[in-house]
Structure 1
Amino acid sequence: MMRNSRRVGGIAAGAGLALLLAACGGGGITENSPGGGETSGDIILGMLTPMSGGSAAIGPYMKNGGQLAVDEINEAGGVMGRQLKLVVEDEACDPKTAAAGAAKLVTAGTVVSVGGYCSSATLPTLSIFGKANIPMIIPAANSNDLVKDKLPNVFLINGTGAQQAQAAVEFMKAQGAKAIALADDNTSYSKDITTRTAQNLEGDSAVKVVSQQSVTAGESDYSAAVTEILRAKPDFVYWTGYYQEGGLLIKQLRGAGYKGDIMVADGSVDKQLVSIAGESNAQGVFATMTQTPQTIPGGDQWITKFKEKTGAEPGPYSPQAYDAVRVAAEALKQANSTKGEDIIKALEGIDGFEIFSGKLKFTEEHTLTEGGFDILVVKGGDFALNQ
């Protein structure tokens, strides 16, 4: 369900978390022994994020967000008297690259995985981390395919595709849409959202899906899809893929004369979409998106701290990566153990821990109780909260 306001507890919660963690003692882990509960050396958190490929801009945002949380926790004494260490590997939004990266993280002695951006790249890592008894706190990837098998070690702290599709339908209806075109890049994440959006509109006499197109990621010419979309005469186009292809699609739709509304899903929320589409073409483009630092009321203090500590600007999924580390640390503290099964039990028992999206409590499916999706809109060269 789409929310009209945001909670900001996660912004100030770092200090409170630090005090809690400072009171902990004992525990830890040695390298090369994931999920085993050893009691020496750093506690290693592994992060898969795109450091190369078409979504490489997201990688530093997530890495810096995670590292900021690690630094804060370590400065407060660490967890169980041990220091946290963040180890980052490339997922490149590519299943083979992600699988290789996951194997490296297992070998490095990862206790909790706190990464995962592209759902299609995250899916093959589920079995790798599962076999190693490593809990996964996934900050960005959100296809329902990730939780459909109800794997005990998989937890999402981003809203799911089902929750995003529902938020999209509610907004498009509120905007008075009558004819909707859906476009995806045929990946698990993107296809999941378009499929669920279409399902949510089935039987609705007032709103119809008039076109549903799938394009191939990485191409530069989407004229065939643009032609089919225009032929269907929609008044609203919803793109559910990533920003590189989304920017091109928007540019080509506007160039072909499309005048109606356009909305993108969270994988396209990056100012590079505006650059690729052209600022004039992107103006007024809506987005379904969870928290970004720039759209959270009161987020200026956290942004300032982020810039001071990392020397870089935060961006999409910086807060979620920050929270993934904090949730991992909280679960380790509650479990007083680095054994995978103990951490999983602690994660399932979390109730009211403050993160950016509010008070955390996982559902039986290990998803957020509320998706926390809001509507953003392009203003100038970036996305802002639609008000």
Structure 2
Amino acid sequence: MFSRPSTRRLAAATALAAGAALALSGCSGGLASGGSGGGDDKGAIKLGMLAPFSGSEAAFGDYMKNGAQLAIDEINAKDGVDGRKLELVTEDDACDATTAVAAAQKLVTAGVKGSVGGYCSGATLPTLPIFKDAGIAMVIPAANSNQLVGQGAFLVNGTGTQQAEAAVKWVTKANAKTVVIVDDNQAYPKDLGDSIEKQASGFTVKREHVNPKEKDFSANVNSILSSKPDYVVWTGYYQAGGLLINQLRGAGYTGPILVGDGSVDAQLSAIAGADSMKDVYGTFTRTPDMLENGDKWIADYKKVSGGKAPGPYSIQTYEAVKVMAQAMTDAKGTDYTKVVDALKGLKDFPLLTGNLTFAADGSREGGGFVIVAPTGTDGAFVLKDDLK
């Protein structure tokens, strides 16, 4: 999400949230406009995390929170950052732009020195100027819309362009000639669909847009089937995606379906029904079960989560904390400019999902997307093809 939905279309949400951000910054009494990130250099270093703890994407909030807490526990067990412990402060953005603006301001007021959250791109985008004006460096674990790139934040997840490249490789490998890309008109799904269409080579692309608040997609299904597709690509999120897949299968479509990272979750199978999930695949960055030492990491995660298994973006948020902590260590403190310079200077920083280097625009070099399939326990997605 991968980045994640805004509950309104991006244009309206961003305009509304931008106005709210200006109003909040204007009454912040300088707290959100200092720009240095200086101040208290004693005691715990607070890291802020915006994530969805309510709304349609609420499951991802706990995945991210637990992943971040695991990283913090490990770092604190080794004397923290320059002798200072880390502390996680979370706020619910509900994957909503306006809610995210208010939540970001709460984190600024709480005195966080770094931001390690961001799931929905449409909700993350309007928070960028709030954190930047407050002198708070941002390492984003999940949200990865191309619109976030080059805005001063650093993305642990691959970008939409990189995910689209993986999708095009996979669809091309299947020798598809006609591909219908279906999005839900929200920020990231539309962005991903646009990027896939732009990179398409060797096959014809047709577009379809659904309203994710609806339950009956029969009109969309009929339109999709009229195109006689060799492949259907869904770039939206699992709630609507599960219904769409179920209804496509019910209408007689037996061909392959590829979903974006916003639908890579066992809930997709639960909603669509196991019988509908044959020949369904997803684009995603690596998950713990795909890693060489994944079993140990999963066991450690369960100690933090009360026995619950990690989900999508647990590990990326874990890694976002590790990256931020390393940058603060290299910067010898939490000064905004020094931390940002340290992030830019990371080269082949070792992470579980692979060594990390940030490009000049803040994106992660390489991206790291693979193809997964819902063939694990209870419809969990597991590695299908690493595209190498």
- Normalised to the residue count of structure 1, the TM-score between the two structures is 0.88
The equivalent position to 2:305 in structure 1, one of 303, 310, 330, is 310
Give me the whole-angstrom Cα distance separating, in 2, the residues matched to 1:44 and 1:38: 11
The corresponding residue for 1:368 is 364
1:167 correspondence with 2:166: yes
The corresponding residue for 1:353 is 349
| Match runs of 1:118-137 below 5 Å | 118-137=120-139
| Match runs of 1:112-261 below 5 Å | 112-147=114-149, 150-152=150-152, 154-201=153-200, 204=201, 206-209=202-205, 211-261=206-256
1:100 correspondence with 2:102: yes
Task: Tell me the CA shift for residue 356 of structure 1.
Answer: 2.5
| Match runs of 1:265-304 below 5 Å | 265-304=260-299
Tell me which amino acid in the other structure corresponds to 2:291.
Answer: I
Q: Per-residue displacement from partner, 1:177-205 (whole Å, max 9, x unpaired)? A: 1110001111221111110111111xx4x
Structure 2 gaps of 5+ residues are: 1-30
Tell me which amino acid in the other structure corresponds to 1:164.
Answer: Q
Task: Tell me the CA shift for residue 151 of structure 1.
Answer: 2.5
Aligned pairs, how many?
350
Q: Secondary structure at the match of 2:368?
A: coil
Tell me which amino acid in the other structure corresponds to 1:79.
Answer: V
CA shift in 2, pair 1:297/1:225, >3 Å: farther
Tell me which amino acid in the other structure corresponds to 1:372.
Answer: G
Query: In the alignment, is the contact (CA less than 8 A) between 1:320 and 1:356 conserved in 2?
Result: no
The corresponding residue for 1:44 is 46
Query: In the alignment, is the contact (CA less than 8 A) between 1:239 and 1:246 conserved in 2?
Result: yes
Task: Tell me the CA shift for residue 69 of structure 1.
Answer: 0.5
The corresponding residue for 1:15 is none
Q: Secondary structure at the match of 1:133?
A: coil
Give me the whole-angstrom Cα distance separating, in 1, the residues matched to 2:346 and 2:144: 20
Q: Per-residue displacement from partner, 1:54-96 (whole Å, max 9, x unpaired)? A: 1111111000000000111111111111110000111111111
The corresponding residue for 1:61 is 63
Give me the whole-angstrom Cα distance separating, in 1, the residues matched to 2:303 and 2:199: 44
Q: Secondary structure at the match of 2:181?
A: strand
Task: Tell me the CA shift for residue 310 of structure 1.
Answer: 2.8
The corresponding residue for 1:11 is none
CA shift in 2, pair 1:284/1:382, >3 Å: farther
Task: Tell me the CA shift for residue 352 of structure 1.
Answer: 1.8
Query: In the alignment, is the contact (CA less than 8 A) between 2:121 and 2:148 conserved in 1?
Result: yes
Give me the whole-angstrom Cα distance separating, in 1, the residues matched to 2:293 and 2:44: 34
Tell me which amino acid in the other structure corresponds to 1:222.
Answer: F
Q: Per-residue displacement from partner, 1:205-243 (whole Å, max 9, x unpaired)? A: x3111x201112232122221111111110101111111
Task: Tell me the CA shift for residue 37 of structure 1.
Answer: 4.4
Q: Per-residue displacement from partner, 1:261-286 (whole Å, max 9, x unpaired)? A: 10100011110111011111123310
Q: Secondary structure at the match of 2:303?
A: helix
The equivalent position to 2:337 in structure 1, one of 302, 324, 341, is 341
Task: Tell me the CA shift for residue 357 of structure 1.
Answer: 2.5
The equivalent position to 1:377 in structure 2, one of 368, 373, 378, is 373
Give me the whole-angstrom Cα distance separating, in 1, the residues matched to 2:304 and 2:160: 33
- Normalised to the residue count of structure 2, the TM-score between the two structures is 0.87
Q: Per-residue displacement from partner, 1:273-303 (whole Å, max 9, x unpaired)? A: 1101111112331000002112224311111
The corresponding residue for 1:329 is 325
Give me the whole-angstrom Cα distance separating, in 2, the residues matched to 1:310 and 1:200: 40
Give me the whole-angstrom Cα distance separating, in 1, the residues matched to 2:193 and 2:286: 21
Tell me which amino acid in the other structure corresponds to 1:64.
Answer: N
Give me the whole-angstrom Cα distance separating, in 2, the residues matched to 1:363 and 1:139: 16
Query: In the alignment, is the contact (CA less than 8 A) between 1:118 and 1:141 conserved in 2?
Result: yes
Tell me which amino acid in the other structure corresponds to 1:330.
Answer: Q
Q: Secondary structure at the match of 1:88?
A: strand
Q: What is the aligned-residue identity percentage? A: 51
Task: Tell me the CA shift for residue 305 of structure 1.
Answer: 1.5
Query: In the alignment, is the contact (CA less than 8 A) between 1:284 and 1:378 conserved in 2?
Result: no
Query: In the alignment, is the contact (CA less than 8 A) between 1:352 and 1:361 conserved in 2?
Result: yes
Task: Tell me the CA shift for residue 158 of structure 1.
Answer: 0.2
The corresponding residue for 1:89 is 91
The equivalent position to 1:262 in structure 2, one of 254, 257, 262, is 257
| Match runs of 1:17-28 below 5 Å | none
Larger mean CA deviation between 331-340 and 220-229 belongs to 220-229
Give me the whole-angstrom Cα distance separating, in 2, the residues matched to 1:145 and 1:296: 30
Task: Tell me the CA shift for residue 308 of structure 1.
Answer: 2.4
Q: Per-residue displacement from partner, 1:153-192 (whole Å, max 9, x unpaired)? A: x110100000000110011001111110001111221111
Q: Runs in 1 of length 4+ with deviation above 6 angstroms?
A: 31-34
Give me the whole-angstrom Cα distance separating, in 2, the residues matched to 1:296 and 1:229: 37
